[in-house]
Amino acid sequence: MGRFVYFVRHGETVWNVENKICGATDIALTDHGHEQAVELGEYICQNPVEADVILSSPLSRALDTANHISELTGLPVKIEPRLKEQNFGKYESTPRDGEEFRLAKMHMADSYEGGESMFRMAQRIYDLLDEIRTIDDHTYILVAHNGIARFIHSYFFDMTNEEFSRFGISNCEILKYEFKD
């Protein structure tokens, strides 16, 4: 049997409801977001999700989600700064489906005027996944953000720039990835 890592996107935020880019801005969960996180924790308890540790982004929307999961599963939560969402610079708080932002996401070296480039983001996420794969035999649940989901997915699967920029998951969705040797 191979080694696995799970990825969870945080629960719903006000900016998710308003279709705004959260990025590195620390936006809290809505009441519904808290409910989603509790439901996910219950799902993890009732289904074959076997993990040892939860690693969470330091942003409150992810950390609150991780803590709800932890309360139900008993898994310890550790903050992992590399899971913090990408800083989208001038695009934070703007519409997620804006045409300018959609095109900007395909420019991998662009730092969005004060943000973080896709290349820099990929380096920190790929480094984290390389460590998880090689350092110990724990199975982790990573709780983070939609932008992080793109990089996690691209670590395990080849993607075109267009596929990468379009990739996303729902709030409190859980995905399972297998490390290949």
Give the residue numbers annotated as catalytic, written as ranges: 10, 85
Question: Residues 140, 5: contact at Cβ < 8 Å?
Answer: yes
Question: Residues 11, 171: contact at Cβ < 8 Å?
Answer: yes
Strands 174-179 and 53-56: unpaired
CA distance 75 to 100: 41
CA distance 94 to 82: 24
Please give the distance of CA 170 from its chain centroid, rounded to a whole number: 11
Q: In the numeric block, which tokens belong to residue 113? A: 């005027």
Q: In the numeric block, which tokens belong to residue 117? A: 């480039």
CA distance 48 to 59: 27
Q: In the numeric block, which tokens belong to residue 49? A: 């999700």
Q: In the numeric block, which tokens belong to residue 111? A: 């730092």
